[in-house]
Amino acid sequence: MSLDHKIAQMCRQVQETVSLALASANDDALHDLSVIGVEPTRGAASLRIVLTADGEDVDHDDLEERLARASGWLRREVTREINRRRAPVLELVLLRHAPGAPPVDS
């Protein structure tokens, strides 16, 4: 199994883990988030998790704060599910518009 294949497999596993964690989060606002992609950065030492919010009346600033507060918990969830000596650093990126749609002025 090549290194690229292992990284791609880990990204898929992290996407599934974060999606399930958000769906079961204590903070109901996080239930409306969808993971649309996981990208490795710095090799696989760091992962960029790209999310979008479902719904039309979304307070992105509030959601970003809630995500920041949940980041440690999400990293622990990821660490529990993947087999790696060191857990990757997670960079949570909340898109302010749906993929393919024009950006909304903030």
Q: What pTM, to 2 d.p., does this model score?
A: 0.84
Is the predicted pLDDT of residue 41 greater than 60, yes or no? yes
Which pLDDT belongs to residue 46? Answer: 92
3-class state of residue 36 by DSSP: strand
Question: Structural domain boundaries of the chain?
Answer: 3-94
Q: Which residues contact 13 (CB under 8 A, 6 or more apart)?
A: 81, 82
Longest dimension (CA), the chain: 45
Per-residue pLDDT tens digits for 63-106:
999 999 999 999 999 999 887 777 889 999 999 865 555 544 43
Residues 71, 91: contact at Cβ < 8 Å? no
pLDDT score, position 106: 39
The domain defined by 3-94 carries CATH number 3.30.300.20: yes
Supply the pLDDT for residue 72.
94
